[in-house]
Structure formats: C-alpha cells, structure tokens
C-alpha cells in the first residue's frame, strides 16, 4: 500500500486537482469541438415540428381564427387553438407566482406576439408555411403600456379573467390591473428619521425592461410513448425536477411516468426557469398525434415573449446627517410584470429579495413598498443573472449613495467607507430583515482604491474638467444575497428550496455524482468534481458529474440565483463527508486499527504516527469486498441540504470612463472588479463567471432595452437593436479578490455567477453620471446609448 | 431560418444569369453575399421564387486598374476590398469603410456589388460611390450600359437597376494625387447600420481646396450627396470655419428619421460631427500623400 514512486504531499494534492485549483473546464472539450448536445440537436424518429401564430396586437379581442388554408399546406397536420386545449384544461396554465397564464390566447390577446395558435407539421418549413396561412380576425382594444398609469381609474382592464378577484396569488389587490402590494420595514420610524434629518435626497430611478437573451433560445422536444404512457420532454430547463412536478400537477400524469431531460444548455440567466406555452403545446401535440414534437424559439420570439427581466420603476430616498452618515432609506416601486404574473422566483415574497436594498451600509431604519401591475406587455419578471430583484436593489442603493455624496460634497469612496457595515458587526441584522453572514467591506474598497490609484484618478479627472474633457469614475460596493435558500424563506409551488447530491464511488476508485442542479455554462462538471476531489482524495479527472435527467438525478430545485454552489455544492461536500465517514470505518477494519487512530492525509487514511495507510482508491475496492460486520457493502450516499441562511457575496468595483462630448460615445478605459465569494473552488471558472457577468452588465448598462411604442408594438426585439456585446465592444476586465469564507457553508463558499451583473451595472452608471457631476447631474437613465448621453451633453451645451 | 419555398440556381456564366433574370423577372433574386437578402427571407419579408446565386462566376470578382479607372467586380467581397493593395494605395476610403461593415464573417461573404445595388440607405458603399463619382456597369441580355452612381439611387430599395439587369462592375475614377479621403461612421455596435456616416474626398492645391465631395449614409431614403457641403469647402483653405459651414450644410441636407439609433435631432447632429471628422481626416491625408 505504498506509492511507487513515492510522491510528496504537495504532489499528491496537485494530482487530485481539488478546491482552489484553476483547472480547465471539463465540459469545454465537447463545446469547443462542436460536440455539445443541445435541445435542437435532438432528432427523434417521426418527430414533428411546431410553430406559433402570434398576435400582431398588444390588446385585442379575437373575433375568429380561420385555420382552413393552413390545414391545406402540404405537411401541416394540425392547428391547435385554445378551444382545442380547453377540454384538456390546458388552455391556461398556473404560473409559479400563483397567477394563471394563457397557453393559447383565449378570446383575447394581452400582448404583441402572444401565442394564438400552434401549427404542427412534418417539418419546420411546413410549420412556418402553415403559420402564415392562419387567418385571425381581431377587434382592437386600447392598450396599457405605461405601468405608472396601470392603476388609474380609467386604465384599460387587461385581465378580464381575474378582474373581479380579490387576489391573484400574492395577497390583496385593489384594482383590476393590480397584482400585489408588498411592504417591509418600519414606516413610522423611517418617516420620523426623514422628518428630522439634515440631508434628504430623492431620485426617480428606472431599471428598464431587458432580457437575459441566452445564446440558445428556449425550446423542447416532447415525446409521449403511447404504449407505456410515459412522457419524455427534452428541454431548456434550468430546473428539470420542478418542471416534472409541475407537468404532473397540470396533466395529472404520474410523476413516475414523466421524464424531464435538460441536455446541454446554452445559457439561461433566468430565461429558462419558467414554463412557457411552447412546452405545453409541444407536449399536448405529442399526446394527440402520438409523435414526438419539437418546438424551438426564434430569436425574436425569445426576446419578445419569454421571460424579460427588471422593468422596475423606483423612487429612492436617503436621509443623512451632515457628515453623510445614512440615517434611513425609503424605496417605492412600481413593478411591471406584463400581462400575466409569470415571474419565476423561489422566494415567498412577491418582490423577492428587494429588501437587500440596504446594500453594504449600516442603515438604522428603512421602508420599502412595491406594487406589481399588469400591462399589455410580454409576461414575466425573471432574475437576469441575479437573485430575484437583488440587482434592482443594488442599483438603487449604489446610485443613491452616489447622489448623497454629490449632495454633501463628500468623496464617493469616502461616503461608502463612512457607512459600511463594519467587519466586527457580522453576523449583521439589517433593518429590513436580513442577517448578513459575513463580510469585510472596508478592506475590499481600500484594496480596490489602491489598485487603481483612486487619488491619482481623481486628480486626473480634476485636470480634465479644467480642460472641458469628460472623465468619470464609478464605484460600486455591492452586497448580494444568493443561494435560495432556506426552506422557511423559499419555495416553488410549495417545494422547499433544498438541493441534493448523490455520490457513488466505484470499486476501482472513480466516482459518479449526480445533483439536482443544472449547469447552463457555469462549469458544474468541473467545480463540483473538485469539491469531491478534496473531500475524498480522488483525482477530479476520475469524477464524473451528471445533472439534468430526472430519471437519474436526485430531486433538486435547479440552477439560478447563484444557488448551485451555496446549496447543491454544500450537499456535495456533505455527501462526500458521509462517504468519508464510512470509508474510515472500512479503513480501520482493513488496517486493523482503531478509527480514532486514523488521520486523513490528502488521499488516504494513515494510522497516526506510523507509515501504515490506506488510500481512498483501495478503500473503495474494500467497500465492495471486505467490510466489517454490521456495515453495508458499497460506497454510495445522497445528501439533501437545506441551508440555514442565504450567502452574502460582495465586491468593490471601480470603473473609469471617457466620454466623447460631441457624439456621446462612452469609452470604458478601465474596469477593476474585486469580488469576495468566500472559498474559491476554481479560480479560473470564477474569473470566467466574472468576465461573463461583467459583459452582460456592460450590455445592460449601455444598450439592452426591450421597449414598446404607445400602441404596444415591441421595439428592438432582434439582435440588430438589442445590444449583445461582442469581443469588439467588451472592455478589458481586471479581476481581483478577497476571501471571507461563509461561516455556515460546509466549505465556506458563497456563489459568484451573479455578483458581476449585480455590481457591474451601477458601476457603469455611476461612472457616466460622475463624468457630469460637476455640472450638477445626479442621474442619467439607462441604457446609456450614445443618443441618450448626447442628450445630456446637448442640454448642458457641452457639445459645442 | 425558415424561408418560404424557392428554387435555387447557381449558374457559371454571366450570360446564364442574364437568361435566368430575363425568364423570372421579379420572381428572381440575385444572391451575392446574401447578408441583406437572406435575413429578409428568414423573416419572410422577401419570398423570391428563384434564387440566382452568382458566387460561382469568377469573372465577377477582382480589382484592377485600367486607363485611369479602378474596376471592381461586383461579387468582390468586402474582405477582398480590405486586402487589396491597389485600393489601399489609391483609394483607401473603400478598404477603410469595409472595415466598418459588420464583422469578419459578414465581410467574408458580403460583396461590394450587393452593398451598392441593394438600395438600402443603411449600406455604406453607396455614399462612398457618390463621393467618388463612381459608375456602375449594368448588363442584360440586350447589352450593357454604364450609369453614374449619382443617377442610380431613387428611393428605399428602389434603384435604376431593371429586373432583368445585373450589376457586373463598379468603375471608380482613380483619385488624382493630392486627393484625401475619409469615411467616418458612428454606430451603436458591431453589425449595426450607421447612426450617421459621412464620406469625404477633397483635393488640395497650393493650400486651397480645388475639388471636394461629401456624401452621407443612412440619413435619408438613399445615400445623399451634399453638394452644399462640398461647396462650403471648395476654394477655401479648409479651415475650421469652412469645416463648420460644410457640417451645417450637410445637416441641412440630411433627412434622418427617428429610430432605435436616436432622435432626428441626434442623428442630424451626428451628420454634422461625422462630416467634420471626415473632412479633417481627408485633409490630413492630403498632407500625408
């Protein structure tokens, strides 16, 4: 049982490639060779294709649907309308938020491009030909586009189906277009603090409607096996098990007769959490025709119908003393949820985690009120690379702190240092109800300031201002709340937000582990193997990670909200530790030693103070051949983990921009991002996540908006207009880190995927506004297109 | 990509293209690089019954100089324009502009002929051809004719090209020594059409501008030649005041519409700014040559 040749401890650790190793991503081998297996790559024998007839109007009654000409098209087999789904009770479907959403428009359409009929054909072309030939007659109704007008007395009623209801799944409501009212905090104390404060600032800050726009759009292949009654759905699902349960609840099929498979997924960012009419129609069509049916969204379908994000219209206020010490925060929000409340999020509250709006600051008191409303726009409200409503909250507080700095004349870094929750205050209970687990905000900001020579930048800026040049420095010192989550706080359709990992160690010492999460590009196959590698001393390369097939993976709640590492990662570590406990018993048995005398050493148990040891690889074989009496054979286990709290990653970002005062063009000269996500499992994967998240943040800040004209026509729903930054536009990123381990996570990790989006967006806006701060500008609306920045330049006369 | 039904033709000779065009008339569409036509077909905004792919015809490609004229085959790709030594030496505005068109994948397929003949005011080459006073060779079965670019463009997607005609060559008068030229384009991102763009050529002699042309992209129904802007700098030393007058003239001549790229006011202002920058750069290149 000795190594030949004998390796040093360090060499053995390196061989394992565990936690802390910048290991190349295992999944990339297939992706860079074009060998990924995405939903649209799946082709089943006899497979049919579906496509939607979509509404040309934002708000209209359907007078008639004529399918006769479509059915004459060669290859078209069926045209399904709401009337056809009604007998199956599938024309409407329950949403994750307690509302109902039309699968196919039932008597009226509520937004442009809404699904009206589903054409099923032998091939994709015939389906599109059929769509062109379905004739729908509409009677137009006045549309409601501006969410701020939704609760007016004379506002058009959008949802006749629920107009009289006292609630639509999220508490009481007081207007046919009202969805919910959510209040948190101490209103009286907050009002009192504002009354007496020396300094008060207030700003209307909108976070426009944008879209996650993953490279792969949504889609599925549904296949009903008429013989054994089993429905298999391959689809772009971020949470396959939840989909299985929901399908069972909707269709009445036994869950054991439903198999949901998420194959490789080309990015999700929240877009692939919800349930969409395409899934239901493909499944219904497969049940009816007996053939597999594929449905794949086009880019325009994706941008204009499935799962937008944000659309938060916020009014934020801070009260402070003369030294810039924040005394109170107040926020009032109108949340535009579109035509159906299909926001996909696991929190028990309708505005999710928006009450993290206290950010990184020690604010004694605060009050938040959010009202959700219906409009004639695509339904949704998902968290685009963030935990639900955290990015809106972070944007608001980071903007408000900047405005307070300008109002008080205090430097924007200094005002943050004066207000930070201090390291010794953790665990910190915020005035809006969260217990921040850990953090060291001053160190993060001071490290960032030093790295970019903040004082030097401010000096340069002053010189540039004297010459009439525009340079801006933006700071964002954000705190995230991720890892949904504690079952007491979080559920989806009643299912607690635990997650799971099952580990099987094979006799020859390799491993397969399956999780309830689903990677969409996060690199789970790489990072989760590293957790097991460190825990069990088995090389990462010998560990296979599998996710996404409900027939094989343990039940889990999926991947979004940076929850995979905080929840499933914890389950993985705990499952590995259970394996290790059993392995120790086996080692003691084989080595004829007492368990108490065994010490763990990288990849083996050693009898303390001796050269007798047994490698995990050999213990694995013994588990199948030589176990002590009373112990079961095998080396497998499963862990279900319910986290005691969320995790609170944080960071300090500094962005430097130069603005062309004649064109409004913004050049990002420098972007420094310091992130603290606790224990770092794979620094290369973390860097990749930060690069991707910052690129998306840049896209959002500079040009991602799904807008509508006054009649409800969706504008910019193609990549011609919608800004998906390429390598040409994307700035250089400098990444850095501190490590403040999470005190309640088995390996101290916190989650990282979403921090750069949450923290990045305010850094860009703060930098751009900072460029104009000496002209008294306190806020500029996103996205910061050249045209909008120029408008500010023009109003100030700076472009002459 | 789910276009309607069409028949695909890939002739090897220009005569065969002309025969197919004569046969199909409006039902036939020429496919060169496909970067305008194919997206339209994808959205079913165009549903041609016949696609006539000209990419197999070698005689439609290439760049040569003959008798003071630079002759560019219509199916020459933007990537080939960028890589042409002849153009980089004698008419650099074309390779400069090609580098501002979309991305390498598009430039590897997209052709200068398609860019010029399509009639989309967002295309970059038409304004440059107006500024260079280029002409187009149009062929049909009856023969060929030469038409000035300045006579070619009529309205959005409407040009002097008849249904049975094929654009085969572009003739650019080789710029005289002492000519500077520049194309300045502001766009939102890679792959976007211009918010506004300006093409400028100017010739200097003894410190005075002896000839000039200014043309604009994507701020009207067609590319626009701004005669007034050119007049503002002709005969001047092209000083700051002359440049401002030219920019004002270009702004007065343009007719942008509000779209996702910006308001009329913004796009008009960008016409002025791009004109200013193009004149300044063209002037600096005169000095350098």
Q: What is the pLDDT of residues B6-52, one digit of tens each?
A: 999 999 999 999 999 999 999 999 999 999 999 999 999 999 999 99
Residue B4: list chain A partners with CB under 8 A. 128-129, 132
Which residues 6+ apart lie within 8 Å of A359 measured at CB? A393, A394, A397, A398, A401, A477, A478, A479
pLDDT at A1 over 80: no
A297, closest residue in chain B (CA to CA): B1
Residues of chain B with CATH 3.30.43.10: 7-53
Contact A785 B186 (CB under 8 A): no
Q: Is the dihedral of CA A78, A84, A89, A91 positive or negative?
A: positive
Contact B188 A132 (CB under 8 A): no
Instruction: Find, among B169, B171, B170, B168, the residue nearest to B17 by Cα.
Output: B168
Contact B186 A723 (CB under 8 A): no
Tens digits of per-residue pLDDT, A432-473? Answer: 999 999 999 999 999 999 999 999 999 999 999 999 999 999
Which residues 6+ apart lie within 8 Å of A522 measured at CB? A559, A564, A685, A689, A753
pLDDT for A4 = 60
Backbone angles phi, psi at A149, to 5 degrees: -100, 0
Q: Give dist(CA A659, CA A594) in Å, integer.
A: 71
Cβ burial of B16 (10 Å; 0-12, 13-18, 19+) is middle
Chain B contact for A713 (CB, 8 A cutoff): no
Option in B2, B190, B273 nearest A728 (CB): B190
pLDDT for A485 = 86
Residue B262: list chain A partners with CB under 8 A. 785-787, 790
Option in A124, A663, A723 nearest B2 (CB): A124
Residue B79 structure tokens:
């990537």
Q: Which CATH number fits domain B7-53: 3.30.70.100, 3.30.43.10, 3.40.50.300, 3.30.1330.10?
A: 3.30.43.10
Chain B contact for A52 (CB, 8 A cutoff): no
Q: Give dist(CA A509, CA A142) in Å, integer.
A: 67
Option in A128, A662, A786 nearest B2 (CB): A128
Q: Which CATH number fits domain B183-288: 3.40.190.10, 2.30.110.10, 3.20.20.210, 3.30.390.50?
A: 3.30.390.50
Chain B contact for A710 (CB, 8 A cutoff): no
Residue B269: list chain A partners with CB under 8 A. 790, 794, 799
Q: Give dist(CA A170, CA B251) in Å, integer.
A: 54
| pLDDT tier at B119, thresholds 50, 70, 90 | very high
Q: Give dist(CA A476, CA A470) in Å, integer.
A: 20
| pLDDT tier at A387, thresholds 50, 70, 90 | confident
Q: Give dist(CA A218, CA A429) in Å, integer.
A: 40
Clarify whether A661 is annotated catalytic.
no
Q: In percent, how much of chain A has pLDDT > 90?
A: 94
Contact A787 B262 (CB under 8 A): yes
Clarify whether A140 is annotated catalytic.
no
Contact A787 B273 (CB under 8 A): no
Residues of chain B with CATH 3.30.390.50: 183-288
* Secondary structure letter of residue A157 according to DSSP: P
Contact A725 B189 (CB under 8 A): yes
Option in A663, A665, A721 nearest B260 (CB): A721
Catalytic residue among A218, A220, A386, A677: A386
Chain B contact for A715 (CB, 8 A cutoff): yes
pLDDT for A49 = 98
Instruction: Find, among B154, B172, B131, the residue nearest to B274 by Cα.
Output: B131
Q: Give dist(CA A47, CA A222) in Å, integer.
A: 9
Question: Which domains occur in chain A, in start order?
Answer: 9-35+499-641 (3.30.365.10), 44-141+217-265+273-305 (3.90.1170.50), 395-484+645-796 (3.30.365.10)
Using a CB–CB cut-off of 8 Å, the residues of B that contact A are 2-5, 44, 103, 186, 188-192, 195, 260-263, 265-266, 269-270, 273
Option in B3, B189, B265 nearest A703 (CB): B189
Chain B contact for A122 (CB, 8 A cutoff): no
Strands (E), chain B: 7-9, 28-31, 50-53, 63-66, 69-73, 135-140, 143-148, 153-155, 158-159, 166-173, 179-187, 194-205, 208-217, 224-225
Q: Give dist(CA A398, CA A479) in Å, integer.
A: 10
A716, closest residue in chain B (CA to CA): B260
Neighbouring CB atoms inside 10 A of A372's CB total 27
Residue A213: list chain B partners with CB under 8 A. none
* Secondary structure letter of residue A566 according to DSSP: I
Clarify whether A754 is annotated catalytic.
yes
pLDDT at A99 over 90: yes
pLDDT at A191 over 90: yes
Catalytic residue among A238, A345, A522, A689: A238
Which residues between 53 and 112 in chain A have a beta carbon less than 8 angstroms from any beta carbon of chain B? none
Which residues 6+ apart lie within 8 Å of A72 measured at CB? A133
Q: Give dist(CA A670, CA A731) in Å, integer.
A: 8
Contact A662 B273 (CB under 8 A): yes
Best of B35, B244, B266 to disrupt the A interface (most A CBs within 10 Å) is B266
Q: Give yes or no for a contact between A66 and A116, defined as CB atoms under 8 angstroms apart.
A: no
Tens digits of per-residue pLDDT, A564-615? Answer: 999 999 999 999 999 999 999 999 999 999 999 999 999 999 999 999 999 9
Residue A303: list chain B partners with CB under 8 A. none
Clarify whether A238 is annotated catalytic.
yes
Chain B contact for A708 (CB, 8 A cutoff): no
Chain B contact for A709 (CB, 8 A cutoff): no
Distance from the A205 Cα atom to the nearest Cα atom in chain B, whole angstroms: 21
C-alpha to C-alpha distances, A772 to A765, A781, B116, B144, nearest whole angstrom: 11, 13, 42, 59
User: Token match 């109108």: residue?
Assistant: A334
Q: Give dist(CA A556, CA A514) in Å, integer.
A: 10
Distance from the B241 Cα atom to the nearest Cα atom in chain A, whole angstroms: 14
- A83: part of which helix (H) or strand (E)? helix A82-85
Contact A728 B103 (CB under 8 A): yes
A717, closest residue in chain B (CA to CA): B260
Structural fold of domain B60-173? 3.30.465
Alpha helix locations (H) across A255-319? 277-289, 299-305
> What are the b/e assignments for A202-239, b being 16+ CB within 10 Å?
ebebbbbbbbbbbebbbbbbbbbeeeeebbbbbbbbbb
- A245: part of which helix (H) or strand (E)? helix A240-251
Residues of chain B with CATH 3.30.465.10: 60-173
pLDDT at B288 over 80: no
Q: Give dist(CA A789, CA A787) in Å, integer.
A: 6
For residue B252, the SS3 value is: helix
Residue B103: list chain A partners with CB under 8 A. 726, 728
Tens digits of per-residue pLDDT, A208-241? Answer: 999 999 999 999 999 999 999 999 999 999 999 9
B39, closest residue in chain A (CA to CA): A720
| pLDDT tier at B287, thresholds 50, 70, 90 | low
pLDDT at A323 over 50: yes
B187, closest residue in chain A (CA to CA): A786
Count of pairs with CB atoms under 8 A, one residue in A, one in B: 60
Number of alpha carbons in the 13 Å side-chain half-sphere of residue B107 = 21
pLDDT at A3 over 70: no
A706, closest residue in chain B (CA to CA): B260
Q: Give dist(CA A633, CA A624) in Å, integer.
A: 6
pLDDT at B289 over 50: no
pLDDT, mean of residues A366-386: 96
User: Token match 């004066």: residue?
Assistant: A418
pLDDT for B220 = 98
Instruction: Find, among A380, A338, A373, A343, the residue nearest to A111 by Cα.
Output: A338
Option in A663, A703, A785 nearest B270 (CB): A663
Best of B6, B260, B263 to disrupt the A interface (most A CBs within 10 Å) is B260
Tens digits of per-residue pLDDT, A746-798? Answer: 999 999 999 999 999 999 999 999 999 999 999 999 999 999 999 999 999 99
Q: Give dist(CA A525, CA A488) in Å, integer.
A: 30
Contact B273 A125 (CB under 8 A): no
Contact A715 B260 (CB under 8 A): yes
Catalytic residue among A54, A385, A399, A563: A385
Number of alpha carbons in the 13 Å side-chain half-sphere of residue B73 = 17
Q: Is the dihedral of CA B246, B251, B256, B262 positive or negative?
A: positive
User: Token match 């030649």: residue?
Assistant: B225
Instruction: Find, among A338, A356, A336, the residue nearest to A347 by Cα.
Output: A356
Option in A132, A728, A786 nearest B195 (CB): A786
pLDDT for A251 = 86
Residue A411 structure tokens:
């430097």
Q: Give dist(CA A143, CA A156) in Å, integer.
A: 7
Tens digits of per-residue pLDDT, A32-89? Answer: 999 999 999 999 999 999 999 999 999 999 999 999 999 999 999 999 999 999 999 9
């Amino acid at each position: 049982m000795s190594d030949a040749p004998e390796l040093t401890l360090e060499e053995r650790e390196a061989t394992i490639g565990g936690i802390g190793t910048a290991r190349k991503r295992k999944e990339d081998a297939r992706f860079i060779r074009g060998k990924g297996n995405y939903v649209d790559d799946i082709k089943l024998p006899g497979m049919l294709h579906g496509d939607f007839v979509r509404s040309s109007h934002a708000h209209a009654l359907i007078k008639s649907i004529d399918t006769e000409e479509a059915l004459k098209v060669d290859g078209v087999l069926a045209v399904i309308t709401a009337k056809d789904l009604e007998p199956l009770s599938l024309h409407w479907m329950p949403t994750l938020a307690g509302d109902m959403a039309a699968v196919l428009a039932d008597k009226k359409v509520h937004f442009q491009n809404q699904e009206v009929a589903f054409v099923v054909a032998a091939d994709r072309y015939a389906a599109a030909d059929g769509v062109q030939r379905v004739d729908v007659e509409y009677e137009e109704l006045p549309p409601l586009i501006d969410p701020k007008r939704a609760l007016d007395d004379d506002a058009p009623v959008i949802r006749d189906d629920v107009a009289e209801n006292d609630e639509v799944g999220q508490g009481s409501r007081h207007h046919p277009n009202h969805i919910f009212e959510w209040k948190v905090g101490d209103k009286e104390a907050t009002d009192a603090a504002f009354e007496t404060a020396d300094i008060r600032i207030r700003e209307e800050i909108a976070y426009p409607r944008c879209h996650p726009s993953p490279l792969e759009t949504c889609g599925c292949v549904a296949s009903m096996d008429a013989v054994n009654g089993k429905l298999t759905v391959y689809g772009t699902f971020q949470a396959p098990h939840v989909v299985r349960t929901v399908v069972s609840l909707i269709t009445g099929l036994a869950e054991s007769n439903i198999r949901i498979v998420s194959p490789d997924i080309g990015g999700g960012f929240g877009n692939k959490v919800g349930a969409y009419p395409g899934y239901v129609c493909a499944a219904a069509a497969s049940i009816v025709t007996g053939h597999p049916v594929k449905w794949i969204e086009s880019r325009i379908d994706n941008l204009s119908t499935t799962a937008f994000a944000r659309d938060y219209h916020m009014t934020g206020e801070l009260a402070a003393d003369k030294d810039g010490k924040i005394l109170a925060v107040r926020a009032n929000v109108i949340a535009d949820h579109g035509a159906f409340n299909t926001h996909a999020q696991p929190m028990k509250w309708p505005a999710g985690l928006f009450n993290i709006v206290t950010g990184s600051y020690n604010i004694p008191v605060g009050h938040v009120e959010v009202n959700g409303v219906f409009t004639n726009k695509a339904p949704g409200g998902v968290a685009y690379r963030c935990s639900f409503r955290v990015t809106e909250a972070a944007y608001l507080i980071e903007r408000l702190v900047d405005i307070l700095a300008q109002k008080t004349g205090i430097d924007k870094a200094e005002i943050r240092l004066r207000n930070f929750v201090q390291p010794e205050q953790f665990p910190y209970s915020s005035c809006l109800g969260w217990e921040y687990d850990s953090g060291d905000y001053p160190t993060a900001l001071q490290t960032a300031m030093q790295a970019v020579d903040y004082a030097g930048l401010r000096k340069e800026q002053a010189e540039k201002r004297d010459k009439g040049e525009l340079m801006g420095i933006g700071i964002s010192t954000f705190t995230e709340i991720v890892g949904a989550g504690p079952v007491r706080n979080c559920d989806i359709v009643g299912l607690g937000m635990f997650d799971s990992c099952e580990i099987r160690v094979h006799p020859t010492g390799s491993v397969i582990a399956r999780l309830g999460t689903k990677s969409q590009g996060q690199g789970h196959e790489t990072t989760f193997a590293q957790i097991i590698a460190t825990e069990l001393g088995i090389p990462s390369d010998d560990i296979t990670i599998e996710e996404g097939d409900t027939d094989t993976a343990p039940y889990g709640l999926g991947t979004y909200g940076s929850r995979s590492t905080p929840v499933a990662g914890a389950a993985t570590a705990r499952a590995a530790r259970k394996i290790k406990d059993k392995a120790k018993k086996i080692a003691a048995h084989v080595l004829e030693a007492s368990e108490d005398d065994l010490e763990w050493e990288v990849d083996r148990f050693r009898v303390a103070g001796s050269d007798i040891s047994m490698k995990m690889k050999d213990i694995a074989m013994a588990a199948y051949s030589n176990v002590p009496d009373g112990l079961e054979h095998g080396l497998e286990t499963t862990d279900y983990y319910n986290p005691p709290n969320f995790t609170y990653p944080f960071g300090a970002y500094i962005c430097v921009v130069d603005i062309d005062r004649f064109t409004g063009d913004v050049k990002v000269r420098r972007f420094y991002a310091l992130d603290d996500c606790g224990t770092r499992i794979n620094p290369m994967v973390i860097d990749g996540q930060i690069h991707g998240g910052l690129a998306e943040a840049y896209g959002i800040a500079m040009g991602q908006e799904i807008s509508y004209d006054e009649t409800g026509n969706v504008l910019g729903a193609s990549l011609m207009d919608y800004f998906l930054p390429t390598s040409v536009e994307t700035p250089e990123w400098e990444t850095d880190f501190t490590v403040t381990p999470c005190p309640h996570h088995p390996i101290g990790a916190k989650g990282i995927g979403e921090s750069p989006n949450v923290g990045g967006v305010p850094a860009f806006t703060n930098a751009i506004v900072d460029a104009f701060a000496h002209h008294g500008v306190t806020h500029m609306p996103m996205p910061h297109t050249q045209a909008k920045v120029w408008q500010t330049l023009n109003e100030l006369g700076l472009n002459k | 990509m789910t276009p309607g039904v069409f028949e695909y033709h890939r002739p090897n000779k220009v005569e065969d293209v002309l025969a197919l065009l004569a046969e199909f008339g409006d039902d036939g569409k020429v496919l060169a690089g496909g970067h305008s036509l194919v997206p339209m077909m994808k959205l079913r905004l165009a549903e041609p019954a016949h696609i006539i792919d000209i990419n197999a015809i070698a005689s439609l490609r290439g760049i040569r100089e003959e008798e003071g004229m630079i002759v560019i085959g219509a199916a020459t790709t933007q990537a080939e324009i960028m890589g042409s030594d002849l153009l980089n030496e004698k008419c650099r505005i074309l390779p400069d502009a090609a580098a501002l068109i979309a991305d390498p994948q598009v430039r590897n397929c997209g052709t200068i002929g398609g860019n010029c003949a399509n009639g989309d005011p967002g295309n970059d080459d038409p304004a440059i051809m107006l500024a260079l006073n280029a002409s187009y060779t149009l062929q049909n079965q009856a023969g060929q004719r030469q038409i000035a670019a300045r006579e070619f463009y009529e309205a959005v997607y409407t040009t002097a090209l008849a249904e049975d005609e094929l654009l085969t060559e572009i003739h650019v008068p080789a710029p005289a020594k002492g000519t500077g030229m520049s194309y300045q384009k502001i766009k939102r991102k890679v792959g976007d059409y211009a918010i506004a763009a300006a093409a400028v050529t100017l010739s200097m002699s003894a410190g005075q501008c002896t000839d000039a042309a200014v043309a604009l992209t994507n701020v009207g129904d067609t590319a626009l030649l701004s005669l007034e802007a050119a007049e503002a700098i002709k005969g001047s030393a092209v000083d700051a005041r002359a440049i401002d007058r030219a920019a004002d003239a270009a702004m007065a001549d343009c007719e942008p519409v509000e779209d996702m790229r910006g308001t009329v006011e913004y796009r008009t202002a960008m016409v002025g700014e791009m004109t200013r920058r193009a004149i300044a750069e063209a002037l600096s290149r005169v000095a350098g040559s």
